[in-house]
Amino acid sequence: MNLKDLLGNSKDNTLSGQKWHMLRQSIVKHLLSAGNATIAEISSELQSSVPTITKAVNELLVEGNVVDMGKISNSGGRRPSLYSINPTCAFFLGVEVSRTNMSIGLQNIKNEFISIDLRIPFALKNSQESLLEFCNLINNYIEESSVEKELIVGICINFSGRINSMEGFSYNYFFSENRPLTEIISEQLNLPVHLENDSRAMAFGEYCEGVVDDEQNIIFLNYSWGVAIGMITDGKLYYGKSGYSGEFGHSTIFDNEIMCQCGKLGCLETEISGWSLVNQFKAALEQGKQSKVVLSENSDLQHLDIIAGAVNLEDGLCVELVTKQSEKMGRYLSILLNIFNPDLLVIGGDFSQLGEYALLPIQSALKKHSLGLVNRDMKLKKSTLGHRVGVIGACCIVKEKMLSPLFKQ
Ligand SMILES: [Zn+2]
């Protein structure tokens, strides 16, 4: 029995069979929490006899779910063996999709990457063909990996926009009224599928493996083509009633009559976002401003070109536009700080590549506009996981979700 099966219900319906199954689950749970343990430690923790635990651990060893780490040192007398979860007994797949590319990573149960492919070209379109191509890319990735598919416990896919993770619907991409998207993708991949909002997954990635130390109340800003936040309160991801929390970019705060991508006028994104940066850059050129970032007639200019222009070329216009946006961003973030009083604000997304060009204006605007007491209470950090953050978050989310039956006992 592999770990994936062990997470489910006992196939033996007798009382003793079910008890034995639960005992084995409890051993796995203890080893996942403790890292490693001796038979005597597990026996004391689970209040079960040493011979019983020895028998169960031996079964888990034979199945490949547990490994013998060798004898422990510095103990008098007979030295007992130390046992741990076998890192390769279960794997978790994380996928992040954006408008023009997708990233995939496969982690083992110890959160170590077996492989990760970032920014594979993929045009996200709301069509059946695009959905099939998306599923094929994931299936190919699994086939080409060194991992047997039956050891993959589940997959988490991050999309931008409105995601109802509980019911498995994505409202911005591949929306189907009749069936949850998780069900449709699961049929294609033959794996349990979980959907997540991209900014929320990024927040969780930083929380599990990134800049977060012991902070428990965190706002992660995903400042990219669009703008959204992921929130962690008391160490848990915050979803709101149906999972639509964090849509900071669609707060209608400007009287500018500019139409947002969501259809409303004057959203924050209409002046502060990757797509508005592109419009601001083009408008500045039309007004006669000069830039080293060459814009040919047919060029599909991206906000990343302007960010690179500021960082790599120190282009005056690029620097002017990104610092102006970042200062405005700081002003509106200060509203969130006053409301949430977080321990930590993480600046993530493509704009975090700007380093101090973004961080300094944000920091100074936060100082100026947020309440001193709130600002003094909070740390400001830049995301450190770069483009991997979403995939890491997805792997951590699906791992937590799939292992949750163990921790509910
Ligand atoms: Zn909007």
CA of 322 to the centre of ligand 1 (A): 20
Between the CA of 229 and the centroid of ligand 1 the distance, in Å, is 14
Q: Are residues 51 and 164 in the same domain?
A: no
Burial of 311 (0-12, 13-18, 19+ CB in 10 A): middle
Does 207 map to a domain? Answer: no
Mean pLDDT, residues 357-368 taken together: 95
Going from the Cα of 348 to the center of ligand 1, the distance in angstroms, rounded, reads 20
Q: Does the global pTM surpass 0.75?
A: yes
* Domain match, 248 and 360 both: yes
Number of domains in the chain: 3
Residue 209 lies in a domain: no
pLDDT over threshold 80, residue 299: no
User: For 258, which DSSP code?
Assistant: P
pLDDT band at 375 (very low <50, low <70, confident <90, very high): confident
Tell me: do 130 and 36 sit in the same domain.
no
Question: 112 to each of 167, 403, 409, how far by Cα in Å?
Answer: 29, 16, 26
User: Is residue 179 located within the same domain as residue 254?
Assistant: no
Q: How much is the pLDDT for 407? A: 80
Residue 43 lies inside a defined structural domain of this protein: yes
Residue 406: pLDDT band (50, 70, 90) is confident
Quick: pLDDT tens for 97-115: 988 899 999 999 999 999 9
pLDDT for the residue numbered 99: 84
Please tell me the distance between residue 308's alpha carbon and the centre of ligand 1 in angstroms: 26
Residues 157, 267 share a domain: no
Pair 285, 371 in one domain: yes
Question: Which chain residues have CB less than 5 Å from ligand 1, an ion?
Answer: 250, 260, 262, 264, 267
Q: How far is the CA of 174 from the centre of ligand 1 (A)?
A: 19
Which of 6-15, 174-183, 257-266: highest mean pLDDT? Answer: 257-266
- Report which DSSP code applies to 89: G
- DSSP structural state of residue 260: P
Share of the chain above pLDDT 90, in %: 81
Q: How far is the CA of 248 from the centre of ligand 1 (A)?
A: 9
118-121: Cβ within 8 A, 24+ apart: 118/387, 118/388, 118/391, 119/387
pLDDT tens profile 325-358: 999 999 999 999 999 999 999 999 999 999 999 9
Domain boundary among 33, 62, 85: 85
Joined together, the tokens standing for residue 204 give 């969780």
Question: What distance in angstroms lies between residue 196's CA and the mean position of ligand 1's atoms?
Answer: 20
Task: Give yes or no: residues 261 and 377 share one domain.
Answer: yes
Is 168 a domain residue?
Answer: yes
Question: Residue 263 Cα, ligand 1 centroid: separation in angstroms?
Answer: 6
Confidence of residue 133 (pLDDT cuts 50, 70, 90): very high
Quick check: 293 and 278 in contact, CB under 8 A? no
Residue 169 lies in a domain: yes
Separation of 298 CA from ligand 1 center, angstroms? 27
Judge if 343 and 298 occupy the same domain.
yes
Could you tell me the two tokens for 138? 């994931």
Any idea what the CATH number is for the domain that residue 370 is in?
A: 3.30.420.40
Same domain as 255, residue 359: yes
Q: Which residue, chain included where needed, has tokens 């954006």?
A: 98
Does residue 86 have a pLDDT over 70?
A: yes
Q: CA 348, 354, 358, 363 torsion: positive or negative?
A: positive
Average pLDDT of the chain to the nearest whole number: 93
CA of 249 to the centre of ligand 1 (A): 6
Q: Is residue 291 part of a domain?
A: yes
Q: What angle do CA 23, 29, 34 make, to 5 degrees?
A: 125
* One domain for residues 299 and 225: yes
Look at residue 248 in the predicted model and tell me its pLDDT.
96
28-33 contacts: CB < 8 A, separation 24 or more? 28/3, 28/60, 28/65, 28/66, 28/85, 28/406, 29/406, 29/407, 29/409, 31/66, 31/83, 31/84, 31/85, 32/85, 32/109, 32/403, 32/406
Q: Which domain holds residue 123?
A: 91-202+391-406
Least confident range of 37-41, 90-94, 196-200, 300-304: 300-304
Whether residues 282 and 356 share a domain: the answer is yes
Domain boundary among 48, 65, 85: 85
Each residue of 185-244: pLDDT tens digit?
Answer: 999 999 999 999 999 999 999 999 999 999 999 999 999 999 999 999 999 999 999 888
Confirm whether 208 is domain-assigned. no
Same domain, 296 and 245: yes
| pLDDT of 54 | 96
Q: Of 85, 106, 128, which marks where a domain is finished?
A: 85
Q: Tell me, in angstroms, the distance from the centre of ligand 1 to residue 329's CA.
A: 15
Amino acid identity of residue 197, one-letter, is N
Q: How far apart are the CA of 346 and the centre of ligand 1, in A? A: 22
